[in-house]
A and B are shown apart, each in its own frame.
Chain A
Amino acid sequence: MASKQESVYQIFSFQDCKSSPDPIFELPAQCLTPKPVPIVIDNGSFQTRAGWAAPAAEFDSPLLLFRSVAARSRGAARSETQIGNDIPNLEPLRWLLKSQFDRNVAVNFEIQELMFDYVFTHLGISSEGSVAHPIVLTEAPCNPLHCRQMMSELLFECYRVPYVSYGVDSLYSFYHNNTRRKLQPPHTGIILSSGYHCSHILPVINGRFDAVNCKRVNVAGSQAASYLQRLLQLKYPGHLAAITLSRVEELLHEHSYTAVDYHEELEKWRSPEFYEREVHRMQLPFSGKLPGGCVSVEERQERRAQQLRRLQEINARRREEKLLQDQERLDRLMAVQELLEDGLLDQFHKSLVELNMDSAEELQSYINKLQLAVEQGRQKLLHSDGTEGKPEVSELEQPMDEGDGVALMDPDFSEDTLPEKPANVVQPVFNVAEYHQLFVGTERLRCPEILFQPSPTGEDQMGLMETLQYVLARYTPEQQEALVSNVFLTGGNMQYPGMKERVERELLAMRPFQSHFKVTIASRPTLDAWYGARDWALEHPLSGEGGAAEGWISRQEYEEKGGEYLSEHCASNRPFILNGHQRNDLKSSSGNILYYYINVI
């Protein structure tokens, strides 16, 4: 009997959002008087978020949110750099996109300068010669000293900022959420933060970031995106250009999830009914490119053979010409040599000068070389006449028909399969809509999984939970208990559905039997770093007398102590401490002696 169930196909289309340019905000009066309000910039490798740290409600969220990319072309259009949201669609300019980041560290300070210009211009700053506001900036955990020095130099010398504070974004997010949950300081916990380029495990003990024991896994959002892109491009070689990085990121943000139990989830995907229900069919816009084109296989082979034959003819002709030339030259040289043998020395010398040679030996060596070349040329001609140059047809590759490929995945899968390659040139009829659909099945699951198991991408580092286990093993059991009672997830890459449950499950597996732990995820994983930095700035205002409060670096301190100087606070890195050395290569541009000092955690 006919079953009434309609298989529900989940067909989605790509949204391909375009970003609209940011407005240039008016500088609010309360941000200048009585004291300049700090600007909080969360400098992320994916997105930059910037805003004011003022208590008023209208400044409660970052005013500027843009991708940290600049589209910079070479040559005449160099000055027309577009930054962030000025670029409506990233894809056409993909090759021009540059970011100041290399992994999660800022290394290219020209582009960083462009970013700062953008931020300050759009925040409405128009003061002459300096930016009068203190800046709170985020940096990577254990940021290299060189990078901090260059950043300080940029801020203090180019923008003449009065005070700067550096902090780690995940730590700001941690403190923000702890205050929201009303936990009492000093806070202890372990932070799992996963951004765009790296994921970190950051233990915090009694309010201080324990940098010695933190670890970084180089797998995060961008690796997942490029993995997904390659998977889809290999599965659908006909749609290579349509599978763009922006679309792939959209797939990750909207259509992917983390399995709580990876193997169990995979077993579910084996069944065809589950597959049909759960596969997301992404409808690509119609492109007019048909599989195989209008040319049949044999015609393509013929064409290639023809091209090969033509190339061979051209090569043969070129070889003959060269052979003729060489022979001519050889004859000339032989004639000159005969002159020598005949004893006509003057003429010989004159001809030598004409030929640009110095002595008889040189002449002889040239003659030998040419004779060799002529011999080789003749040999090659003989060979090429002999063998008829088989066209390398064995190298020809036919792209797979889409239908065959997908049908082989699940044999019970009923869809319009594309017919086999036609023996004649009759154009087969097939479902155009189906051809332009990407079936995203297990990929929804596999790509977020690389955070926990980096091996499918070839990374041999530990996954996130294994690294967590490794970090925890470095502490005493009491410390472990304390750390694990506040496991905090933050970062844009933690936003997959199911991430929190997965971490809880894995933690259950690795902790001792019936021990207690608690996992929380940030309320707004991408933005909480900015909010945390803003809270910090509001709680640590600068005193009016110009003395630097804790956590801020003043211009004077920068000039005395150099670029790597870092003023510690609850959410900052640990400064690097050496004993009284002057390092020439790390001199700040003001040329002062750098002070290093010892610190032990």
Chain B
Amino acid sequence: MASQIPITARAQPAAASSAALRGKKRPGSLAVSAAQQATGSSSSSKKKKGQLTATPTIQTQITGVELVAEVKAMGTVDCGPIAITESTAKPPPFKDPTFMHSGIGGAAAGKKNRTWKNLKQILALERTLPWKLNDPNYYSIDAPPSLKPPKKYSDISGLPANYTDPQTKLRFTSSEEFSYIRLLPTDVVTGYLALRKATCIVP
């Protein structure tokens, strides 16, 4: 019997605070049977816990009831394990409990389309709408590429760089920096180039 406890303990939700709302959905029978089995001091919280263990399967109901008795016998404080089939936190009351997002495509697209669209996809869709030439939309207000040539700064120190190392393609300002660059491991070199988005894909 003791070995059953860890397994069934999982079916027993923790806080009695969740009892309030959930209680109305649970069949009263379990509470009655739990009450019958309860010996001695049966706090209302324990009874509610008995209610809460009512998962759809009868199996778990029975084991839950047994557990209630077991727990009373053992006198352990059961708080912590979360029910697999239900979350402990009750949904906030101000929400509509039947609400389903339409964007995630839960109903429409079935099982396939579960993820939210990311910005790229949304923008791609939006560009297909018949915009006029000057209408502002998220894509059109992107700033254009720069018209001025970029200034070159050293990858190591950030000072203005006049020189580039032909071997590693890193920029540097002085001979000390150059010696430092030549001693760098390749992953650091690639890191600096990647920071500047200057890594060459072709080896």
- Measured CB to CB, the closest approach of chain B to A340, in angstroms, equals 50
- Measured CB to CB, the closest approach of chain B to A115, in angstroms, equals 12
B123 within 8 Å of A (CB atoms): yes
| In the complex, chain B residues whose CB is within 8 Å of the CB of A211 | 136, 141
**Looking at the complex, which of A14-22, A100-108, A325-333 is the stretch in contact with chain B?**
A100-108
Interface size class of A (residues with CB under 8 A): 35 or more
**Looking at the complex, which of B57-65, B70-78, B175-183 is the stretch in contact with chain A?**
B175-183
CB of B143 within 8 A of CB of A400, answer no
CB of B150 within 8 A of CB of A453, answer yes
A107, A200, A442, A589: the one contacting B117 at CB < 8 Å is A107
CA distance A467 to B92 in the complex (A): 46
User: Which parts of B77-106 form the interface with A (CB within 8 Å)?
Assistant: 82, 84, 87-89, 92-96, 99, 101-104
Q: Give the nearest-CB partner of A146 in chain B.
A: B122
Interface string of A426-469 (1 = CB under 8 A from B): 00000000000000011101100000011111101111001100
**Looking at the complex, which of A55-63, A122-130, A528-536 is the stretch in contact with chain B?**
A122-130
CB of A103 within 8 A of CB of B160, answer no
| In the complex, chain A residues whose CB is within 8 Å of the CB of B150 | 453, 455, 460
| In the complex, chain B residues whose CB is within 8 Å of the CB of A216 | 141-143
User: Which parts of A144-189 form the interface with B (CB within 8 Å)?
Assistant: 144-147, 150, 153-154, 157-160
B184 within 8 Å of A (CB atoms): yes
Whether A128 contacts B158 in the complex (CB less than 8 A), given A107-B122, A400-B184, A408-B176, comes out as: no
B84, B123, B157, B186: the one contacting A409 at CB < 8 Å is B157
Q: Give the nearest-CB partner of A446 in chain B.
A: B158
CB of A157 within 8 A of CB of B142, answer no
B148 within 8 Å of A (CB atoms): yes
User: Which parts of B160-203 form the interface with A (CB within 8 Å)?
Assistant: 160, 176-177, 179-180, 183-188, 191-192, 195-198
CB of A458 within 8 A of CB of B94, answer no
| In the complex, chain B residues whose CB is within 8 Å of the CB of A8 | none
CB of B94 within 8 A of CB of A127, answer yes
Q: Give the nearest-CB partner of B88 in chain A.
A: A79
Interface size class of B (residues with CB under 8 A): 35 or more
| In the complex, chain A residues whose CB is within 8 Å of the CB of B159 | 266-267, 269-270, 442
CB of A230 within 8 A of CB of B143, answer no
CB of A159 within 8 A of CB of B141, answer no
CB of B137 within 8 A of CB of A142, answer yes
B101, B142, B146, B153: the one contacting A218 at CB < 8 Å is B142
User: Which parts of A69-95 form the interface with B (CB within 8 Å)?
Assistant: 76, 79-80
CA distance A109 to B101 in the complex (A): 8
Q: Give the nearest-CB partner of B118 in chain A.
A: A102
CA distance A442 to B159 in the complex (A): 8
| In the complex, chain A residues whose CB is within 8 Å of the CB of B134 | 212
A283 within 8 Å of B (CB atoms): no
CB of B144 within 8 A of CB of A140, answer no
B147 within 8 Å of A (CB atoms): yes
CA distance A129 to B93 in the complex (A): 6
CA distance A270 to B131 in the complex (A): 52
CB of B94 within 8 A of CB of A120, answer yes
| In the complex, chain A residues whose CB is within 8 Å of the CB of B140 | 142
| In the complex, chain B residues whose CB is within 8 Å of the CB of A233 | 191
CA distance A216 to B82 in the complex (A): 47
CB of B93 within 8 A of CB of A215, answer no
Interface string of A269-280 (1 = CB under 8 A from B): 110000000000
Whether A442 contacts B157 in the complex (CB less than 8 A), given A105-B138, A408-B179, comes out as: yes
Q: Give the nearest-CB partner of A408 in chain B.
A: B180
A360 within 8 Å of B (CB atoms): no
- Measured CB to CB, the closest approach of chain B to A265, in angstroms, equals 10
| In the complex, chain A residues whose CB is within 8 Å of the CB of B176 | 408-411
CA distance A463 to B129 in the complex (A): 30
CA distance A144 to B198 in the complex (A): 32
CA distance A263 to B152 in the complex (A): 11
A121 within 8 Å of B (CB atoms): yes
Whether A234 contacts B188 in the complex (CB less than 8 A), given A107-B119, A120-B92, A211-B136, comes out as: yes
CA distance A470 to B147 in the complex (A): 10
Can you list 5 A-B contacts (CB < 8 A)? A110-B116, A113-B101, A400-B183, A463-B146, A574-B136
Show the binding face of B for A, using Cβ within 8 Å.
82, 84, 87-89, 92-96, 99, 101-104, 116-119, 122-123, 125-126, 129-131, 134-138, 140-148, 150-151, 153, 156-160, 176-177, 179-180, 183-188, 191-192, 195-198
Closest 7 CB pairs of A and B: A458-B197, A455-B150, A79-B87, A397-B185, A211-B136, A102-B119, A442-B158
